[in-house]
Amino acid sequence: MTTAQHEAILPASEWELVTDGVMGGVSRGALTRSVEDGIEVARLTGDVSLDNNGGFLQMATDIDRAAVTGQDIRGIELSVRGNDEEYEIRLRTDRLNRPWQSFRTIFTATPEWQTLRIGFDAFEPHRTDAPFHPAEIRRIGILAVGRSFRADIALREVRFFGP
């Protein structure tokens, strides 16, 4: 049985930096873009600090609704490399209206490029009872979160995959 793969949906130019400064935290980071082997790469770097109730750096983007509407998608695939630290993927759907609500999973970004295929069943609801429906995904975030550490993660592409 083969797994259908959809077009890359999130080019590096579409990602934005969000820090805990939005809630008074003091983590400092940067989101840069470069081209490696002809592919645009988004790279999140910085220092995550727990001071002042902070604790995150995030690169996030809104999802093109055409990427999920009417598609039979079962998970997300991303091509990443990093500094052997754990990062989170957070998905937000139409049913989530509070900033602290999401569906989350953790992965480790190794120093070599790797392609991770993560089924939606690996995502845990956080502070919500809403059901997860892939057709309702509206935003994705890659986060350095929850502990003081140096973040360094590069993202080449993200796509959804189907059955």
Look up the pTM and report it: 0.91
Spatial distance between the Cα atoms of 117 and 9, rounded to a whole number of angstroms: 15
Q: For residue 24, which phi and psi values (nearest 5 degrees)?
A: 95, 0
> pLDDT tens for residues 34-54?
988 888 999 999 999 999 999
Residue type, 127: R
pLDDT value at 58 more than 80: yes
pLDDT value at 21 more than 50: yes
Q: What is the largest CA-CA distance in the chain?
A: 50
> pLDDT tens for residues 95-110?
999 999 999 999 999 9
Mean of pLDDT over the chain:
91
Q: Please, what are the domains in the chain?
A: 12-161 (2.60.120.260)
Q: What pLDDT is attached to residue 12?
A: 63
Give the confidence band of 2 by pLDDT, cuts at 50, 70, 90.
very low
Q: Kindly write down the DSSP assignment for every residue of 77-116, as one continuous string.
A: EEEEEESSEEEEEEEEETT--STT-EEEEEEEE-SS-EEE
With H, G, I as helix, E, B as strand and everything else as coil, classify residue 17.
Answer: strand
